[in-house]
């Protein structure tokens, strides 16, 4: 992904999340957190510091518009920190050194596992920070599972559309 295209995706995903997806709730639980697609799709050769800066900026922008002080930024930075390990564990051995993670480069099953693991890390951290308690553990777990499923559904749909181009 080139710099200009990366900035366009950044702005588009922040606006989409803030203006549309933050208002989508199924039974007050399932909210798609599609903005993490940006972190998952950045080229594999980006340095960890740059990736964490992009993730912090993304989470901070979402936090500013969502009135969630630091929660999205913290969860996004955690995902960015874990992403190199996720990529190493989910790519095929014969894959090129530099690639953009996706169905084309990784195959559907590897990308699905990569996206599922990354989404679970991000959503788990975000929902636990939001709840800040394990008193209502069933509600917390239901919230995590529903948010992960909604987010993963959005990511897979967009990835399938982008793959056909």
pLDDT one digit per residue (tens) for the chain, 165 residues: 577 888 999 999 999 999 998 888 787 778 899 999 999 999 888 889 999 999 999 999 999 999 888 999 999 999 999 999 998 887 766 666 778 888 888 888 999 999 999 999 999 999 999 888 878 889 999 999 999 999 999 999 999 888 766
- The pLDDT, as a whole number, for residue 1 is 57
Measure the CA–CA gap between 97 and 1, rounded to whole angstroms. Answer: 15
- The pLDDT, as a whole number, for residue 93 is 66
Measure the CA–CA gap between 87 and 94, rounded to whole angstroms. Answer: 13
**Max Cα separation, the chain?**
47
Q: Is the pTM of this model over 0.85?
A: yes
First to last CA, the chain: 15
- The pLDDT, as a whole number, for residue 79 is 96
């Amino acid at each position: 992904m080139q710099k200009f295209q990366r900035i366009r995706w950044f702005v588009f995903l922040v606006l989409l999340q803030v203006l549309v997806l933050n208002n989508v709730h199924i039974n007050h639980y399932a909210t798609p957190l599609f903005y993490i697609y940006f972190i998952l799709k950045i080229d594999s050769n980006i340095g960890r510091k740059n990736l964490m800066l992009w993730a912090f900026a993304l989470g901070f922008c979402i936090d500013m518009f969502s009135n969630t002080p630091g929660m999205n930024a913290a969860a996004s930075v955690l995902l960015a920190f874990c992403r190199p390990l996720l990529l190493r564990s989910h790519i095929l051995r014969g894959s090129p050194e530099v690639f953009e993670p996706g169905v084309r480069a990784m195959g559907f099953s590897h990308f699905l596992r990569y996206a599922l693991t990354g989404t679970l890390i991000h959503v788990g951290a975000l929902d636990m920070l939001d709840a800040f308690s394990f008193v209502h553990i069933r509600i917390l777990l239901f919230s995590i599972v529903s948010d992960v499923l909604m987010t993963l559904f959005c990511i897979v749909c967009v990835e399938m559309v982008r793959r056909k181009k």
